[in-house]
Amino acid sequence: MKLFIVGIFVLDMKIDSGIKAGDEVEIHFVKEIYEGTLIESPESDKNIVLLKLGNGYNIGFPRKEILEIKLVEKARDAEEKVELKKSSGKPNIAMVITGGTIAARLNPKKGGVDWLDTPESLFKYYPGIFDKVNVLRLERPFMKASEDMDYKDWQKIAKVVSELLNDTNIQGVIITHGTDFLHYTSAALSFFLGKLNKPVVLTYSQRSIDRASSDANLNLVCAAVAATSEIAEVMLVGHANESDEFCYAMPGTKVRKLHTSRRDAFKVVNGKPFAKVTQDGIEIMSNFNRRNNSKVKVDNKFEEKVGLLKIYPGQEANVLDYYVKNGYKGLVLEMSGLGHAPTSRARHGWTKKLKEVQKKIVVCATSQCINGRVDPLVYSNGRELLETGIIYLEDMLSEAALVKLGWILGHSEWAKSKEVVKEKMLHNFAHEFNKMLEG
């Protein structure tokens, strides 16, 4: 309605042809003229014209109040030449860039986001890592926010990484990634890549690179240290605490994002980091697979029809019908406490329905407590649920369990038999189980 009225009364704004964000312009109003740099209008409101004033501040005007925008001077494209420092004394690594905050840079002149996806642009913003290593190869299979990724992206990354790992000139691989679903990717790579010959390090940034306080600097330098270490594992390297002092190298299947915004968002759950990493060295904290000369073979089969469902009080069991009806092959239930769902004693019991659906789909159990192991034998409620056939996944993280279930069911030769699926789900492929939980 409002737009319609505006449409009738608004004067047509005159704008010199070819004006683009970044150009010096004059904005003419009835009473006054403003001069400054034209900035890209916000995505959410194209009816606003943004102008950067000479003092650096951006201010805005409703488009309808502007009479005319005149060009003063075209923006100069300052193509900068950056020279990469390469030296034979430094170890060679490869980088795989997939998107996320760590690879995004705001272009304040225009307003949009530029990707840092060349060695030169990386060097400009993260010179520290280039003091440690030569980035011999750089791959960008795609550029995405991690929340937009799915298993096909994990498969692509695994493929690219395996090729890099089998390149004898490369000592290790660093993957930069958005943080939201990073721990799903780290779990997927842990299963897809199997026994490794060299380090595969995932890292991230919680504070964007355009701020001097960005956490990416330490994360990348420590990632370089980890990537040239003896630890031939899939690991996530990131801040250990709120300070810029050191990072942890954390097992890909045992790590979880536990904070929305802190630098040390990722923590190891039910286990220990492989190592404490500083920019000067590495301090081992738990057992790992050593660097070796084997070849890596990707096994990235995946069954997409797997789900993850969180149990809540009073929830009705017929939610399970959805999964059966839609052709799901497996489901991870994130259960209460030691591994419980409403039983036959509850107003909406699950026991009967669970028995019924497991004729068609595999059901596994993890705990929504996040920390600790599931154990269905402690209470009679647990024993009642166990009898329905649920596979209890010990101390495995729900996210790792989902990825693992998809991977296991992706193998048709295993998926045929519930017994084999159960055996595989309980087999420790990539540190997803910890046999001895410590206080």
Partner 1 sequence: MDKEDYTKLGFKQEKSKDFSAKNLDYKNLGFKAGLEIHQQLDTHKLFSRAPSILRSDEPNYLVRRKLHAVAGESGEVDEAALYQVSLDKEFVYEVHSGTTSLVELDEEPPYQINEEALKIALQIALLLNCEIQTLTQIMRKTVVDGSNTSGFQRTVLIARDGYIETSEGKVRIDTICLEEDSARKIFENEKEVRYRLDRLGIPLVEIATAPDLKSAAQVREAALKIGEILRSCKVKRGIGTIRQDVNVSISKGARIEIKGFQDPSMMITTVNKEIERQERLILGKMKVVSEVRRALPDGTSEFLRPMPGAARMYPETDLPLLKIHRDLINEAKKTLPKLKVEIEEDLRREGLNEEMIKLLFKRNQVKEFGELMKIYPNANFVAKVLLVLPTEIAVRENLNEFDVEKKFGKEVISDVLEKVREGKLEESDVRNVFEKIVSGESLEDALKI
Question: What residues line the site for partner 1 (CB under 8 A)?
Answer: 39, 42, 44-45, 48, 50, 52-62, 78, 80, 106-109, 111, 124-125, 128, 207-214, 217-218, 242-245, 260-263
Catalytic residue among 37, 98, 101, 253: 101
- Among the listed residues 23, 153, 180, 215, the single catalytic one is 180
Indicate which residue of 98, 176, 179, 253 is catalytic: 179
Nearest to 172 by CA among 96, 228, 246: 228
Decide whether 49 or 296 has the Cβ nearer to partner 1. Answer: 49
Residues 114, 3: Cα–Cα separation, whole Å: 33
CA 142 to chain centre: 13
Kindly tell me which of 55 and 326 has the beta carbon lying closer to partner 1. Answer: 55
- Distances in whole angstroms, Cα of residue 164 to Cα of each of 98, 172, 298, 304, 373: 15, 8, 12, 26, 36
Question: Least CB distance from residue 127 to partner 1, whole Å?
Answer: 9
Q: How far is the CB of 265 from partner 1 (least distance, A)?
A: 9
**What is the C-alpha separation between 220 and 176, in angstroms, rounded?**
9
3-state secondary structure at position 248: strand
- Residue 209 contacts residue 126 (beta carbons within 8 Å): yes
What is the spatial distance between Cα 250 and Cα 222, in angstroms, rounded to a whole number? Answer: 12
In the residue annotation, 179 being an active-site residue is answered as: yes
Q: What are phi and psi of 56, to 5 degrees?
A: 100, -20
CB of 244 to partner 1, least distance (A): 5
Shortest CB 113 distance to partner 1, Å = 9
The SS3 of residue 12 is coil
List residues bridging with 94 in a β-sheet: 137, 173
Q: Which is nearer to partner 1, 39 or 196 (CB)?
A: 39
Please confirm, yes or no, whether 185 is among the known catalytic residues.
Answer: no
| Closer Cβ to partner 1, 207 or 305, answer by number | 207
CA pseudo-torsion sign 97, 207, 154, 252: positive
Point out the catalytic residue in the list 257, 353, 404, 424. Answer: 257
Min CB(5)–partner 1 separation in Å: 18
Min separation Cβ 119 and partner 1, Å: 16
CB-wise, 52 or 177, nearer to partner 1? 52
Pairing relationship of beta strands 134-139 and 92-97 according to DSSP bridges: parallel
Nearer to partner 1, 125 or 414 (CB): 125
Distance CA 382, CA 233 (A): 35
Strand, helix or coil for residue 244:
coil
Active-site amino acid positions: 101, 179-180, 257
